[in-house]
Amino acid sequence: MPSSYTTDGILLVKTMAELGYKPQAIVAQAAGFSEDSLYGAVGDKVEGLISRSSFSLDLAPSGLGRKVNELFKRARQRPQ
């Protein structure tokens, strides 16, 4: 579960590819693995990447984040 700067994430992914190491998935911790420049630099070498990024509802001036959060909460309340 790498958590790194973008340049370190690029180096990690390219080095794994050069060594022929191709995991089915990489579970990453935000930071450099949330940056568009990582994906532009390594292309399909990160296929199967799972990452997460935090956000603050207070920083969403459009209110879209709040709306998505409300939809998620309603969906979770439905009986399975």
Neighbours of 2 (CB within 10 A): 15
Identify the band that residue 17 occupies on the pLDDT scale cut at 50, 70 and 90. very high
What stretch of H or E contains 67?
helix 64-77
pLDDT of residue 59: 65
Neighbours of 35 (CB within 10 A): 18
Tokens encoding 77 = 């309340």
pTM of the model: 0.65
Question: Which among 59, 72, 51 has a CA at the least distance from the CA of 3?
Answer: 51
Position 45 pLDDT exceeds 80: yes
Which residues, 6+ apart, have CB-to-CB distance to 14 below 8 Å? 41, 42, 45
How much of the chain exceeds pLDDT 70, in percent? 89
Give me the residue spans of the domains in the chain: 6-77
